[in-house]
């Protein structure tokens, strides 16, 4: 996979470059700010970018703004956002634009190399990958009166896995149940969230958006 990195910490940036190269990826560019990231993507669009949220000059949301610009110019480029903390507004903004090819991981997750590489692969292939802690904190905003309150604990577990970007087969494997059982839970989720079939819309995406945005 062709990857561009944007991380202002030289130590972490160089470490990620070494890791990705050792895993067989081609690192097209490694930059230290959002403007340089956008320019690098314009010059040679990769399969995916890995980007820090806070970078120079203000260390606020440069990475997010660069991400949204890249998604506007090159919607097929996957974006894996790294952040030191769970920044709910940024995560929700990314998801509500289009969750396909988007990931959001806490930087601590990078140390768990297998999970980091798996998330990058999923994002590069057009899937989604959200840190379980990000999902948990977004969930904490859920009101008890929300339609989500109708879900059973098992159904919420399934929806949590959906929000992290896992397929039905992966969810079944992780929860040690059959795929048909997962599909049954998902159909119950759609019914309880009153998500009827609507041409042109994915009920799975609508369920995840309602889950994370409630």
pLDDT value of position 169: 92
pLDDT value of position 212: 64
d(CA 137, CA 92): 11
Under a CB-based contact definition with an 8 Å cutoff, are residues 30 and 42 in contact? no
Question: pLDDT tens for residues 25-37?
Answer: 999 999 999 999 9
**Which residues make Cβ contacts (< 8 Å) with residue 105, sequence separation at least 6?**
80, 81, 82, 83, 116, 119, 129, 130, 131, 134
pLDDT value of position 130: 81
Residues in the chain, pLDDT under 70: 86-99, 135-146, 197-201, 209, 211-214
Question: pLDDT tens for residues 129-157?
Answer: 888 777 666 655 554 556 777 888 899 88
Q: Residue 192: which of 151, 157, 164 has the closest Cα?
A: 151
pLDDT value of position 95: 63
State the CB neighbour count (10 A cutoff) for residue 22: 8
pLDDT value of position 214: 52
């Amino acid at each position: 996979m062709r990857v561009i990195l944007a991380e202002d910490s030289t130590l972490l940036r160089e470490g990620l470059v070494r890791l990705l190269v050792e895993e067989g990826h081609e690192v097209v560019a490694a930059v230290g700010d959002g403007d340089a990231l956008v320019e690098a993507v314009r010059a040679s669009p990769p399969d995916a970018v890995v980007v820090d949220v806070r970078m120079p000059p203000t260390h606020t949301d440069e990475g997010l703004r660069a991400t949204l610009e890249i998604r506007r110019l090159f919607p097929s480029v996957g974006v894996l956002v790294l952040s030191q903390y769970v920044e709910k507004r940024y995560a929700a903004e990314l998801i509500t634009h289009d969750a396909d090819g988007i990931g959001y991981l806490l930087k601590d997750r990078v140390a768990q190399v297998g999970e980091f590489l798996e998330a990058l692969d999923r994002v590069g292939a057009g899937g989604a990958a959200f840190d379980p802690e990000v999902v948990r904190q977004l969930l904490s905003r859920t009101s008890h009166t929300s339609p989500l309150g109708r879900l059973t604990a098992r159904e919420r577990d399934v929806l949590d896995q959906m929000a992290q970007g896992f397929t039905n087969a992966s969810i079944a494997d992780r929860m040690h149940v059959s795929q048909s059982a997962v599909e049954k839970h998902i159909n119950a989720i759609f019914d309880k969230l009153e998500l009827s079939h609507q041409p042109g819309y994915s009920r799975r995406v609508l369920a995840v958006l309602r889950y994370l945005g409630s």
